[in-house]
Amino acid sequence: DIQMTQSPSTLSASVGDRVTITCRASQSISNWLAWYQQKPGKAPKVLIYKASSLESGVPSRFSGSGSGTEFTLIITSLQPDDFATYYCQQYNSYSRTFGQGTKVEIK
Amino acid sequence: EVQMVESGGGLVQPGGSLRLYCAASGFTFSSYWMSWVRQAPGKGLEWVANIKQDGSEKYYVDSVKGRFTISRDNAKKSVYLQMNSLRVEDTAVYYCARDNYYDRGDFDYWGQGTLVTVSS
C-alpha cells in the first residue's frame, strides 16, 4: 500500500502569510494527488486535483505542484477563512490513501 | 445541485451490524463510481470502499475486507454500506463521496456524514 506523509502536522501562521504544506508518497504516483480543506464538523472540500489543477470556485491563492513522490500545496496569502486542516490524497488504481493532515492555526 | 445525504448511523455493540445509506441527487448517478470515507473522532480521513458504476467492481481497505459490503441501486440513486462484525475501532463519521475514478482520482462531492459508534 502507498503511504502518504504530510509535513508539518501543525502550522502556526498569520493572515497574509505564505503557507507551504508538503506531501510525500512512499512510491511514485505520477500526478494522481488531490488536496482537501476540512473545517471542524464539516465534510472535506477538494481544492486541487491531479496535483496542480484548481477546483472550480476555489480561490487562486491556492496552488499545487509536484509529481512522482513529492507534492506541495501553497497558500500565497493566508486569509481568515483558510484556518483549517488540510489533507493530501493519492489515487493509485482502485485504492486511495490520505495523508495524516496539517492543521493551520492562527499565530 | 449535487447532493449526497447519508443516514443509518447510530450506536451499536461490538460484533453487531449496521447498514448505512447514501441518497444522491443532482447528477447522473449511474455514471460515477461512489466511495465511502470515514473519519474517527479527532483523527484523519480513511478511504473505506468504492463501487463501479454498474456494481461489477468493488474494492475495500484491508481493515474492513470480509466485514463490510458496498452496494448500489442506480434506480434509487443510492449507495449502501453493510457493516458486520463491527469493532470499537470502526467508530467514525462515515461520508459518502462521488469518486472521480477515471479522470481525476479525487472525491469532488461529499455528504454531511453519519456517525457510527461501536461501544458496549
B55-85 per-position pLDDT tens digit = 999 999 999 999 999 999 999 999 999 999 9
CA pair distance B47, B40, nearest whole angstrom: 12
pLDDT computed for residue A1 by the predictor: 86
List the one residue out of B104, B86, B108 whose CA is nearest residue B37.
B108
pLDDT, averaged across chain A: 96
Task: Return the residue of A nearest to B33 by Cα.
Answer: A94
pLDDT computed for residue A100 by the predictor: 98
Task: Return the residue of A nearest to B6 by Cα.
Answer: A43
Identify the band that residue A88 occupies on the pLDDT scale cut at 50, 70 and 90: very high
Identify the band that residue A95 occupies on the pLDDT scale cut at 50, 70 and 90: confident
Mark yes or no for CB contact A44/B105 under 8 Å: no
- CB contact set of A28 (below 8 Å; sequence gap of 6+): A68, A69
Q: Is the pLDDT of residue B34 over 80?
A: yes
pLDDT computed for residue A53 by the predictor: 98
CA pair distance B12, B118, nearest whole angstrom: 5
Digit-coded pLDDT (tens) for A60-73: 999 999 999 999 99
Q: Which residues of A touch B42 (CB under 8 A)?
A: none
Cα separation values, B7 from A87, B13, B21, B58, B113, Å: 25, 18, 5, 21, 8
Identify the band that residue A94 occupies on the pLDDT scale cut at 50, 70 and 90: confident
A25-50 average pLDDT score: 97
Q: Given CB atoms, is A37 within the 8 Å cutoff of chain B?
A: no
What is the residue type of A83?
Answer: F
- For residue B42, the 8-state DSSP code is T
Identify the band that residue B109 occupies on the pLDDT scale cut at 50, 70 and 90: very high
pLDDT computed for residue A93 by the predictor: 73
Q: Given CB atoms, is A49 within the 8 Å cutoff of chain B?
A: yes
A75-99 average pLDDT score: 93
pLDDT computed for residue B102 by the predictor: 87
Q: Is the pLDDT of residue B19 over 80?
A: yes
Residues 33-52 of B with CB under 8 A from A: 35, 37, 44-47, 50
Three-state DSSP at A3 gives coil
pLDDT computed for residue A92 by the predictor: 80
pLDDT computed for residue B46 by the predictor: 98
Mark yes or no for CB contact B104/A87 under 8 Å: no
In chain B, at which residue ranges do the beta strands (DSSP E only) sit?
Answer: 3-7, 10-12, 18-25, 33-39, 45-51, 58-60, 68-73, 78-83, 92-99, 107-110, 114-118
B52, three cell numbers: 463501479
* β-bridge partners, A53: A49
Asked whether the bond before A8 is cis by omega within 30 degrees of 0, the reply is yes
